[in-house]
Amino acid sequence: MAEHEIRKHLKTAYTTMLDKDKGFRHKLVDISVEVLIIVFAVTVSIWFHNWSEKSKDHKEAKAFLADLKKDLQADSVNIGNSLQFYQFSLSGIEYFQKVGRGDTLSADSLQKYGDLFFSSTELQPHISRYEALKVSGKFDIIENKELLNNIIYLHESVLNRVEILNTDYAQYIKRVAAFIDEHAQINKQGHITNGQELLRISQLRMLLAYGRGIISGNLFDAHHEGIRKCKELREQIDKTLK
C-alpha cells in the first residue's frame, strides 16, 4: 500500500476517534476496521516485496550456477593438464633415479626429460565469480545448502591445496636448478656433458627422492580430488538447474 493510502486510513481513524457524534462502540468498530485495513495492506505489501526479492535472488542464483559450471569445466581441464605435467615429471624423476643407482644415461632420455629440472606449473583457477559472490555477502541466494557447502569447500580447500602444492613444487625446482647450475659442465653447444655423474651425486639423488615424494604422495592426490570434486559439483549444479 502506498504511503498516502496509509496516511489516509490513519487520518480516518484519527478523525473517527475525535468525532463527538459517534458513541464509543461505534468509534471502536470504525477504528478497528481502519487498523485492520492498514495491517492487511502492509502485510500484503511486505509479502509482495519479499516474493519479488526472492524471485530476483532465484534468477541471480540460477545465472551464477550456470556460469560457475563453465568455470568448473575450465578448471577441470587446467587441473588435468597440470596432472599430465606431473605424470611426465614423475616418469623423468624415476628414470634419473635409475641412472643415479647405476644405469647408463641415455642422450635421448636426457633430452626428453632434461627440462623437468627447470619446469613447474600453475593452476590459475577461475575463482573471480566465486570471490565476487563471497565479497557481496550473498551466499544465501544459493538455497541448496549442501550445494553451497560443496562450492565453498572446492574453492576454499580443494583448489587452494592444489595451488599451495604447486608453489611448493616450484620452490623445489628452484633448489634443483640451483644445484645443477652449480655443478653442471656445459659444452659449446650448451649441452650438459657430466649428466650421469651429476645424477649420482648424493645431494641430487636426495633432491630427486624428495621431488618424487611430493608428486606421488601429495600432488597426485590433490589433482585427482580437484578433478573429482569439479565433476561432482557440475553434476549437482545440473540437477539444481533442472
- Tell me how far the alpha carbon of residue 84 is from its chain's centroid: 21
Asked whether residue 14 is assigned to any structural domain, the reply reads no
Position 228 in a domain:
yes
Could you tell me if residue 173 is inside a domain? yes
What is the Cα Rg of the chain in Å? 34
In a domain, 165, yes or no: yes
**Entry pTM:** 0.76
Domain assignment present for residue 163? The answer is yes
Burial classification of residue 189, based on how many CB atoms lie within 10 Å of its CB (0-12 exposed, 13-18 middle, 19 or more buried): exposed
Yes or no: say if 120 and 111 are a contact pair by the CB < 8 Å rule. no
Which residue in this structure is represented by grid cell 624428495? Answer: 210
What is the b/e burial string over 38-49, where b = at least 16 CB atoms within 10 angstroms of the residue's CB? beeeeeeeeeee
> In this structure, is residue 233 part of a structural domain?
yes
Residue 202's identity, in one-letter code, is S
Within a domain: residue 13?
no
| 203 in a structural domain | yes
pLDDT tens, residue order, the chain (242 aa): 455 555 554 556 556 555 555 555 555 555 566 566 666 666 656 655 555 556 566 788 899 999 999 999 999 999 999 999 999 999 999 999 999 999 999 989 988 998 999 999 998 899 999 999 999 998 989 989 999 999 999 999 999 999 999 999 999 999 999 999 999 998 888 888 899 999 999 999 999 999 999 999 999 999 999 999 999 999 999 999 88
